[in-house]
Structure 1
Amino acid sequence: MAQRPPPTPMLQAFVSAAQTGSFARAASELNLTASAISHQIAGLEEWWGVQLFERHSRGVKLTPAGETLLPVADSFFKALDAVLQSLSPSKSQPLHLSCTSSLCATWLIPRMHGAHAEAALNLDLVLTSVDISRATLSVHPFDVAVVMGDGDYPDHHVELLMRDAVFPVCSPQFKRVNGEIALEDIARYPLIHRVDDQVCPGWESWFAFHGLEAPPYHHGPRFPDSSLAISLAVKGGGIALGRTALVHDQLKDGELVALNAPTMMSPAAYYIICRNGRQSERDIARLFDWLKAQAHQFIDQVRGSGA
């Protein structure tokens, strides 16, 4: 005889905690207490007799059993939501748009200013700033996402948004103090680093591109987000690697200057993705069109400025 399924609130607590990596954040998302989330998940683990999470002081991590359960439980709720919306189409739900954190802060949000009132983007949107990789597609809920990578996202409809050039930038004051900085001398100055350069080219890649020998280890502040590294460069804290979409507005406004060095094209590009089959939904298609129109307009501006 098949075992009866557990109560839905237990599964909801599990999915939310798995996707957020925290009982506290899951509690906030579901409008419950962290203790209630912990009890729901403990009940679910007792229900099946398996451990779903490893508990740590800084959060929780899925066990192999939890990783097996997550996509099934997540698909169940998504399928249930789709059916309920089809049965009650008058109750429209907002679109959830996720965007890689640096691009969200420096490119997307400035271009959304006032756009919600335009016919082209008169959509009910929930915007989330999060970096989604191919490995984390199943744990981040979204309708449409702007991601940075190689364009290979299984089970998803993918369209190219734009590509980036990479080049060193600093504040005008930093340049005035240090004068013209030769290409081969950049390693002698304070460099601002991005912690994880698996997708974004880092200084090591940049030195190699120019045929320069990078120092064995270059001390300097390291940030998990490119926009934070750029913010420190704006304050005069050193030289950062800028990408076109992230620094063009600051270059135009005079907050940053580009050093005299050939640009390097980033091997990763920005893509818009959604689940296969959803690209034909009216609101998702409109959001795709608006994002691509903004990218085309931006690319024209970059070309017009000679950047």
Structure 2
Amino acid sequence: MRIAVTIFLTDRTPSPVRLAHELERRGFHGLYLPEHTHIPVSRETPAPMGGDLPEQYGRTLDPLVALGQAAAVTERLALGTGITLVAQHDPIDLAKGVATLDHLSGGRFTLGIGYGWNREEAADHGVEWSTRRALVRDRMALMRALWAPEPMPYDGEFGSVRASSAHPKPARAPRDLGAGRALHGPRTLLGGSAGPKLFAHIAEFTDGWMPIGGRGLTESLPVLRGAWEEAGRDPKALQVVPYAIHPSRGKLDHYAELGIEEVVAQLPAADEPEVLRALDGLAEFL
């Protein structure tokens, strides 16, 4: 079982360089970072965990910039986002940033993506909430066209790009999607709650699922695997990475029985001594 971590890195936590050093030195598999560009003070969207929204949501570092620092001072540490809010980005710019980070890190990057939960944040980016899932699907297709080995145009519902020279390319080789289609780009995992629409999108344009909290997998994994195989995907290629979990021996054993090989544990958004104590607490699972 590979153990990675996630944390809200902010201007009040350890730096990406300091944390990356500690993770690689201690033998952790990877570092995943969330994304929020800003949190409007006046909002109606409830916090996903209930109650008041923790302060760190409005203080997060840009994940690609922070992971670039982490990549520069490590050799083996896997790097990822959990998650990138694709709907809130210009897809051409995002494709370039992702490909650059993956190239500079030697192919260590995982693009965790999602549809978002904060309506006010998305609205400031011009996102129409009811169409955000279709928007993400469209932007991922545009990005894959730019990541393709040869120039490839894309003309979609929400955007288009001409056949272009766009380098560097992500390091990972294309994956077979069936029916003569290929998945270009870094390993891509889609976050979100279990359901037929989510599972259809996972099978259509990603490498797997990033379920937050990891609950209910005994029931949901067979459904996802059914959707995956129905789409013509290789059953062995599906990757499921429970995210922001609080591990225990029993929980990890259960995940292993389900065929899961990687998890992402939650660290506190705290000062350096507290973060290092949390890493010490996770050491027994390495």
TM-score in terms of structure 1 length = 0.24
Q: Which has the larger radius of gyration?
A: 1
TM-score in terms of structure 2 length = 0.26
